[in-house]
Chain A
């Protein structure tokens, strides 16, 4: 783990926030549509920051995968790429069917939604994929997450910022 403690703390907190948010986004009856949509937009921004912070890893993995060197590296890469595709689809379809947040930002009329319409179905399906793939993404990065959590906890216990 080469990240400096403040950066490590920020990255770990961001990842924890992403974990909590991704599950909360799946439960519209709990959050309500208004909070769901604003939380979704916040989630999109957090994903961009997460990708920027992980850029070194993304770049090194892209170099390792092409040409294919190992099945594991390829599988990990495809899993992360699928997660990116699912998140992108989920966010875009969510923006398309937004009833609260996007109309209030753009000052446009709310779109009329019908049960089972294309974008509603795509949003629901993509969100289910996001949950499954995000959980597998956590499994993939479990060692890093545990090590980062331990380091931060140890520093907090020692009174370091």
Chain B
């Protein structure tokens, strides 16, 4: 294998097309097409198992651009049905600043109103992480019913059934990009 070592690459017109930072040197994606429904997470964060993806950085200084886009709905007492980004099983810093009894999270799971066939709104996040590691890094979405009052959630579908002509089954993804830094 040949290796070319340089600090910068320019076109013949002197246009800079690669520097030592900002380059994308690896992309991995997890596609999730299976529908979930009926799961009540309780008050502690639990992993949304399909929404996981791993990458192995090549340098401790490199960053990971984490991009989630997923669909779903909720039912029951959905008010504190909240999700958070986790790295290697620990909560990331990408969360709101809460006080009092309020929950803090990256986002809230979508509530489709009173209709069982309500739309499945896109949720997600975009976060530039600095894992400072060359070991495999795993990102997950965790979810909880923060006040534990009986909420449940669906993924890739509404909260009705999946077999009627009124239902939509969607597809979700997790994309990780290693960025040189």
A binds B: no
